Amino acid sequence: MVTNYRTGADASEAFPLAHGAQVMEYSAGDVEDNKLIEDLEHRINRPLNDDERVFLLTGEQVDVAIRADELELQKKRLNDLQNLFGLIKDLNSSVHDSDEKMKETQKKVETATEDYIATGTSSLAGARDHMDAIRRKKRISIGVGILVLIAVVVVIIVLVVKK
Per-residue confidence (pLDDT) for residue 12, from 0 to 100: 44
Per-residue confidence (pLDDT) for residue 58, from 0 to 100: 67
Q: What are the C-alpha distances in Å from 34 to residues 16, 48, 53, 60, 80? A: 14, 12, 9, 12, 40
Per-residue confidence (pLDDT) for residue 112, from 0 to 100: 78
Per-residue confidence (pLDDT) for residue 30, from 0 to 100: 61
Per-residue confidence (pLDDT) for residue 31, from 0 to 100: 67
Residue-by-residue pLDDT tens, the chain, 163 positions: 444 444 444 444 444 443 333 344 444 446 676 777 788 788 888 887 877 777 766 666 777 778 888 888 999 999 999 999 999 888 888 887 787 888 888 888 888 788 878 788 888 888 999 999 999 999 999 999 999 999 999 999 999 988 7
Per-residue DSSP letter, 19: T
Per-residue confidence (pLDDT) for residue 59, from 0 to 100: 64
Consecutive H or E run containing 115: none
CB atoms within 10 A of CB 26: 15
Per-residue confidence (pLDDT) for residue 93, from 0 to 100: 83
Per-residue confidence (pLDDT) for residue 5, from 0 to 100: 44
Q: What are the C-alpha distances in Å from 86 to residues 93, 100, 122? A: 11, 21, 53
Q: How far apart are the first and last CA of the chain?
A: 151
Chain centroid to Cα 39, Å, comes to 56
CB atoms within 10 A of CB 57: 24
Q: What are the C-alpha distances in Å from 154 to residues 39, 90, 140, 145? A: 147, 92, 21, 14
